[in-house]
Amino acid sequence: MVEYGRTLRTTVTPIPGLLVVDLPVHGDNRGWFKENWQQEKMTAAGLPDFGPVQNNVSFNDLTGTTRGIHAEPWDKLVSVATGRIFGAWVDLRDGETFGTTFTCELDASRAVFVPRGVGNAYQTLEPDTAYTYLVNAHWSADAAYTFLNLDDPVVKIRWPVPLKNAEISAKDATHPHLDEVVPVAPRKTLVLGADGQLGRALRAHWGTNPRIEYAARDDLDLTAATVGTARRWQDYQTIVNAAAYTAVDDAETVEGRREAWAVNVAAVNELAHVAARHGITLVHVSSDYVFDGRTSRPYREDDPVAPLGVYGQTKAAGDAVVRTVPHHYIVRTSWVIGDGANFVRTMRKLAEREVAPRVVADQIGRLTFTHQLAEAIAHLLDAGAPFGTYNVTSSGEPRSWADIAREVFRLTGHDPTRITDVTTAEYTDGSRIATAPRPSCSVLDLAKIATTGFMPADGARALADYLRTSTELDGDR
């Protein structure tokens, strides 16, 4: 008998991520009706928006029909269309809850969300039971499955119909016991652009974690037509795209323009297709160059873009593509400083050589140190922050390039008065190379990232720390 009148709600279980869902069922003299999956209502009630792509139905003639215990490499929402079942779930994922068990009965008014790697089994309690499940990946013959014996002596599932009297397939009866099961490994994170400044900072942050893979351009060419089949993408939870074309001035040339659009837009489009298809979270790094700099306040994440040059145009286009991915973070930053050639290191070298440089004083912004950017990305992922765009730079008082140059000279024990302020126009006057237009104000509002619990470090202190550590590292080379 179906229970009518339940209120839609989710209940947690001892297995992390396994949720029991009470479903409203509406009945009258004709029968009953329910919404088995309703994205808006169910995500509001606490279910993950797991993106189902396939709906399966298993019809069972007899009471006592028993199937499982199967852990598949996808999430699913299991329920009953007709009849009633006893359901059993065992956590077969690698971790502290490996072997944890949960059981309950399901009729048409109750469903269970089963995360990837949790073993699923059921036994029918009525004849003519139709068991249904929505999954968020298409069935694949080469997918990795994990199984557990229905009669395992450790988990000790109390089947209503003793297994000796149940209808069981020969295959299900011979699955391994818990001490023989290889735990299901978590889905992996792939860092692209691993040989760049941010890629190296992410490698330093995550280290040799076996769940993290790093790919340089030689490992995975994002401009190749084979990106969609370059990996078993269903094994990945997150892609961090730290790869980009960043030669701002070269992007104004014919060849540079082509390469900028190929890397920053076409390749990102391929990644977006991969991420959307496989339910992968895509983390993408954006730039202050998507704005024209004509503002009297820091730029917020939702301000309209107005790029001045080719590089900014490609970054804005790439951002628009990434926003089509259901699970995405766009991390917008400015004036990036890390392990490699950059403005701060150039100023330090000029100071050491006793050069008196002319430095632009009419562009205002904040530095972003790559270790801080890596920490922010890891924080967004670990905290499960709402998807969307986040500004990430150092905090503190915005300064011009000339101000920063003077601070570099001062912190390294050199005379800051050797810096001469110039305008952007004066700096580029007479240049023989194509020079990209730059935003005069690159200050980004940091309030949104702060609401997630991440507090960017003060830029002045971060600069001093960077100069100290980079000097020590340079001395070791």
| 205 carries an active-site annotation | no
User: What distance in Å separates the CA atoms of residue 208 and residue 203, rounded to the nearest whole number?
Assistant: 8
CA nearest neighbour of 203 among 193, 379, 285, 331: 193
- Which DSSP letter does residue 386 get? P
Strand intervals (E) in 117-181: 118-124, 129-135, 146-147
Residues 390 and 284: their CA atoms lie apart, in Å, by: 10
Residue 99 Ramachandran class (φ > 0 left, ψ -120 to 50 alpha, else beta):
left
Cβ contact 222:243 at 8 Å: yes
Name the catalytic one among 122, 131, 133, 466. Answer: 133
Q: Which two tokens stand for residue 313?
A: 């145009």
C-alpha distance from residue 285 to each of 244, 282, 309 (Å): 8, 10, 18
Instruction: Respond yes or no: is residue 133 known to be catalytic.
Output: yes
Residue 100 phi/psi, 5-degree rounding, is -65, 140
Indicate the Cα dihedral angle 185, 191, 194, 200, nearest 10°: -80
**Of 161, 260, 200, which is closest to residue 473 (Cα–Cα)?**
200
Neighbours of 385 (CB within 10 A): 18
Catalytic one among 4, 70, 273, 327?
70
Going 232 to 183 to 71 to 167, the CA torsion angle's sign is: positive
DSSP state of 65: B
> Distance of alpha carbon 334 from its chain centroid, rounded?
21
Q: Tokens 């699970």 — which residue?
A: 327
Strand pairing partners for 80?
131
Preceding amide of 404 cis, omega within 30: no
Distance CA 231, CA 189 (A): 12
Judge contact between 12 and 100, C-beta under 8 A.
Answer: no
Residue 56, SS3 per DSSP: strand
Buried b (16+ CB within 10 A) or exposed e, 305-329: bebbbbbbbbbbbbbbbbeebebbb
Would you say 100 and 14 are in contact if contact means Cβ atoms under 8 Å apart? yes
Burial of 24 (0-12, 13-18, 19+ CB in 10 A): middle
299, β-bridge pairs? 444
The set of catalytic residues is: 70, 133
